[in-house]
Amino acid sequence: MYVAVKGGETAILNSYRLLARARRGDAAVPELSLAQIKGQLRHAVDRVMQEGSLFDPELAALALKQAAGDTQEAVFLLRAFRTTLPRFGYSVPLDTAAMRVRRRVSGTFKDVPGGQVLGPTADYTQRLLDFSLAGTGSANLEEPTALAEPLPERLPCVLDVLNREGLIEPETPPPGDPAPTDLTREPLMFPAARATRLQNLARGDEGWLLGLAYSTQRGYAESHPFAGEIRMGEVTVSIAPEELGFAVDIGEITLTECQMINQFAGNGSAPPQFTRGYGLVVGEAERKAMAMALVDRSLRAPELGETAHAPAQQAEFVLCHSDNVEASGFVQHLKLPHYVDFQAELSLLRTLRAGFDAKGDAQ
């Protein structure tokens, strides 16, 4: 006598217990503290905040700990928590020209006003495993040399130099300067304005953007990019409550900004000039900011009169598949039971197969 399998609830509760033990690992090894994760795994924390769309290093560290280092799972945890947070208002636009720059480089000019500042980059390290880090004894950290002269308070954007010559398209708000869509409150609709697209890319999966950006360099969209400027540092966040009538600083966040310069042959109404691609990401995230800038530019193909034949130029394709919380959930939902549909397909296939075999027999 067949007895239908029961006990889903018990199994689920047991999976929690197993998961908790697996997460903790060897109990003889000290437990990770959030301060350790925040302080020593800053890139992981930043990525969880970017794709989780919530700036809170403490919660991002908690999510990473709970997810046992699975970045996308941590992003998901943060997003689900974010849903429950009330929205008090919107900040005034961030002024990245007033960024307290820790890193600023340009690939287009040897020297730029304010100079090139490498900052805390791994770019010119030789990727040799540093065995001195294998132990837990803290390494002897050397003091970096101070800058010859401190950076000015406002570091003008490198692209402004080209702007003065009219060789690069001006960055102007869209006609009427409409309030941007808030993608965390409204669904993504098409055609999507550039502000909406940038919002989507900013919280999009880094791997997705990196692959798409790479494709534009390899011939799937002729982008011919130059890294006009990349800067990273702290930017003040201000809000202007209506009843107050002026802006109040509420804190600062770390941002990475990338201004990409791309060739443009011009068209009937626009002269030949450089065009822009823009990337802005929370935290230290140069790879993502650069990828975002390349994809932003490729998505501008229709407005610049370019044929949109490559995947990275097709907004619906790029934007509908960028969110790793959506992608991860839907790909993995295949492990849920599909008995009913599978049964329907099975009986359909048996019918089709019977028809095919009967035809074969007749021949």
Q: Which residues bind other proteins (CB under 8 A)?
A: 2, 4, 6-9, 11-12, 16, 19-20, 34, 58-59, 62, 66, 76, 79-86, 184-191, 316, 320, 325-326, 328-333, 336-341, 343-348, 351-352, 355
- For the record, the structure tokens of 98 come out as 């007033």
62: helix, strand or coil: helix
- For the record, the structure tokens of 8 come out as 């889903």
Cα–Cα distances in Å, from 259 out to 164, 276, 280?
16, 7, 9
| Residues 6+ positions from 215 with CB-CB distance below 8 Å | 221, 310, 311, 312
Shortest distance (Å) from residue 54 CB to other proteins:
10
Please tell me the distance from the alpha carbon of residue 78 to that of residue 335, in angstroms, as a whole number: 23
HSE, side-chain direction, 13 A CA sphere, residue 274: 23
Shortest distance (Å) from residue 93 CB to other proteins:
23
Choose among 60, 82, 36, 46: nearest CA to 253: 46
Of 66 and 91, nearer to other proteins (C-beta) is: 66
H or E stretch including 232?
A: strand 225-239
DSSP per-residue string spanning 142-155? PPPPPPSSPPPSS-
Please tell me the distance from the alpha carbon of residue 162 to that of residue 274, in angstroms, as a whole number: 9
Shortest distance (Å) from residue 250 CB to other proteins:
14
Shortest distance (Å) from residue 348 CB to other proteins:
4
Shortest distance (Å) from residue 5 CB to other proteins:
8
Of 53 and 298, nearer to other proteins (C-beta) is: 53
For residue 174, say if its preceding peptide bond is cis, omega within 30 degrees of 0.
no
Of 30 and 187, nearer to other proteins (C-beta) is: 187
Q: What is the DSSP letter of 259?
A: E
Shortest distance (Å) from residue 300 CB to other proteins:
17
Shortest distance (Å) from residue 117 CB to other proteins:
35
